[in-house]
């Protein structure tokens, strides 16, 4: 159908055509017609993902000067650079979605500083030991791979394409994490203790990573909308269950104890039964009241302000 013909359709007819495309598995591109709620849910999801990649570089960045060997230092430096690159790639994808609304990428950064744009709960937490650097790369990246592969076939083409590259790199990150974890797990008593303590510290945050099961906890949930529009396929709880199935056996195999003594796999229900994390604390953390929220935001703001001249030079070549 010609553009002129399409423009003459009623809003309902445009919507019907859009849903036909979604159900056929077509990719929606930045210039295509899309309903407002599709655009808004994508902006929210991708801007939060992008900014979390950038904020996510900060806990590991702290370990670049303190990594225990040159090889580990090179590994963690490369990972930090990759995460920043993922953030840039994703913010570029959001830029096209924001343009028709008269908003820019700079506005997103302002939204981060005012607290309107949230970043993932895990990146509000401290990383006091080398064990934490390993835990982030092994299990946070492991969790990130699960949520992101869930969207590799996303109906929005630019996001799906960016995710293909990002997921490939995240696999390397998880392997880098696994190598840190294995070295500590096979190390001295002190190293094993350090590892167990970092797992204990990260456990609740990892459960929260996938988001609440239903809107009851936070008052809102976009899961139905993102599934309806085929941006993702699995719910937050299904992803959390997949995470347990993959990682609980691995955690136990390297001699670590689960920080939840009530946890077991219910054969009849076919699901893991576990102690819920403190969801009130989750809300508090993502409202920038986590232990490291303010200092990491401050660091980001300083970097943003110091680089203002680069943005100005690019805008006025």
Ligand X SMILES: CC(C)(COP(=O)(O)OP(=O)(O)OC[C@H]1O[C@@H](n2cnc3c(N)ncnc32)[C@H](O)[C@@H]1OP(=O)(O)O)[C@@H](O)C(=O)NCCC(=O)NCCSC(=O)Cc1ccccc1
Q: Which stretch binds ligand X (CB under 6 A): 134-142, 184-192, 253-261, 264-272?
A: 134-142
Q: How far is the CB of 285 from ligand X (least distance, A)?
A: 8
Beta bridge partners of 122: none
Alpha-carbon distance of 69 to 53, in angstroms, equals 25
Q: How far is the CB of 124 from ligand X (least distance, A)?
A: 9
Asked if residue 208 binds ligand X (CB under 6 A), the reply is yes
Q: Binding ligand X by CB under 6 A: which of 140, 185, 207, 292?
A: 140
Q: Binding ligand X by CB under 6 A: which of 42, 56, 127, 155?
A: 56
Contact between residue 82 and residue 74 where contact means Cβ atoms under 8 Å apart:
no
Q: How far is the CB of 247 from ligand X (least distance, A)?
A: 15
Q: Binding pattern to ligand X, positions 161-180, x when CB under 6 A? A: --------------------
Contact between residue 263 and residue 275 where contact means Cβ atoms under 8 Å apart:
yes
Within 10 angstroms of residue 160's Cβ, the number of other Cβ atoms is: 17
Which of 23/116 has CB closer to ligand X?
A: 116
Within 10 angstroms of residue 73's Cβ, the number of other Cβ atoms is: 15
Name residue, tokens 């592969």. Answer: 149
Q: Binding ligand X by CB under 6 A: which of 191, 196, 200, 221?
A: 221
Under DSSP, is residue 273 helix (H, G, I), strand (E, B) or coil?
A: strand
Nearest to 181 by CA among 219, 217, 132: 132
Q: Which stretch binds ligand X (CB under 6 A): 21-29, 196-204, 205-213, 258-266?
A: 205-213
Q: Binding ligand X by CB under 6 A: which of 75, 97, 121, 229?
A: 121
Q: Binding ligand X by CB under 6 A: which of 22, 47, 52, 127?
A: 52
Which of 34/234 has CB closer to ligand X?
A: 234
Count, residues near ligand X per rule CB under 6 A? 30
CA atoms within 13 A on the CB side of 301: 12
Q: Binding ligand X by CB under 6 A: which of 129, 198, 226, 241?
A: 226
Which of 38/210 has CB closer to ligand X?
A: 210
Angle between helices 70-98 and 36-61 (to 10 degrees): 160
Alpha-carbon distance of 120 to 108, in angstroms, equals 15
Q: How far is the CB of 28 from ligand X (least distance, A)?
A: 18
Alpha-carbon distance of 148 to 108, in angstroms, equals 21
Beta strands in 1-47 (DSSP E): none
Phi and psi at 120, nearest 5°, equal: -60, 140
Radius of gyration of the chain (CA): 21
Q: How far is the CB of 152 from ligand X (least distance, A)?
A: 12
Alpha-carbon distance of 145 to 172, in angstroms, equals 11
Asked if residue 120 binds ligand X (CB under 6 A), the reply is yes
Whole-Å CA distances, 268 to 91, 102, 235, 260, 262: 44, 53, 21, 21, 17
Asked if residue 42 binds ligand X (CB under 6 A), the reply is no
Which of 34/46 has CB closer to ligand X?
A: 46
Asked if residue 242 binds ligand X (CB under 6 A), the reply is no
Alpha-carbon distance of 25 to 28, in angstroms, equals 9
Q: Which stretch binds ligand X (CB under 6 A): 45-53, 91-99, 107-115, 296-304?
A: 45-53
Question: Under the rule (CB under 6 A), what is the footprint of ligand X?
Answer: 45, 48-49, 52-53, 56-57, 83, 118, 120-121, 136, 140-141, 144, 147-148, 208-212, 218, 220-223, 226, 236, 286
């Amino acid at each position: 159908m010609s553009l002129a013909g399409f423009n003459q359709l009623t809003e309902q007819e445009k919507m019907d055509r859009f849903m036909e495309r979604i159900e056929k598995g077509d990719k929606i591109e930045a210039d295509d017609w899309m309903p407002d709620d599709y655009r808004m849910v994508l902006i929210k999801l991708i801007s939060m993902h992008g900014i979390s990649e950038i904020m996510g570089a900060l806990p590991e960045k702290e370990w670049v000067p303190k990594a225990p060997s040159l090889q580990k230092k090179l590994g963690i430096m490369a990972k930090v650079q990759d995460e920043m690159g993922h953030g840039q790639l994703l913010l570029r994808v959001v830029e096209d979605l924001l343009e028709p609304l008269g908003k820019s990428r700079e506005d997103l950064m302002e939204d981060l500083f005012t607290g309107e744009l949230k970043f993932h709960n895990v990146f509000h937490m401290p990383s006091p030991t080398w064990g934490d650097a390993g835990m982030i790369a092994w299990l946070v990246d492991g969790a990130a791979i699960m949520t992101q592969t869930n969207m590799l076939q996303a109906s929005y083409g630019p996001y799906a394409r960016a995710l293909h590259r990002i997921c490939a790199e995240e696999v390397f990150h998880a392997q880098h994490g696994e190598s840190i974890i294995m070295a500590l797990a096979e190390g001295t008593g002190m190293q094993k203790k350090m590892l167990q303590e970092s797992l204990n510290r990260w456990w609740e945050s990892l459960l929260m990573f996938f988001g609440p099961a239903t809107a009851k906890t936070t008052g809102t949930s976009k899961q139905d909308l993102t599934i309806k529009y085929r941006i993702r396929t699995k719910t937050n709880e299904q992803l959390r269950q997949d995470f347990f199935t993959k990682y609980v056996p691995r955690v136990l195999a390297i001699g670590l104890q689960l920080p939840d003594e009530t946890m077991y796999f219910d054969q009849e229900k076919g699901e893991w039964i576990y102690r819920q994390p403190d969801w009130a604390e989750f809300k508090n953390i993502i409202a920038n009241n986590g232990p490291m929220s303010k200092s990491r935001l401050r660091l980001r703001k300083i970097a943003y302000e110091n680089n203002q001249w680069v943005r100005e030079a690019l805008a006025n070549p």
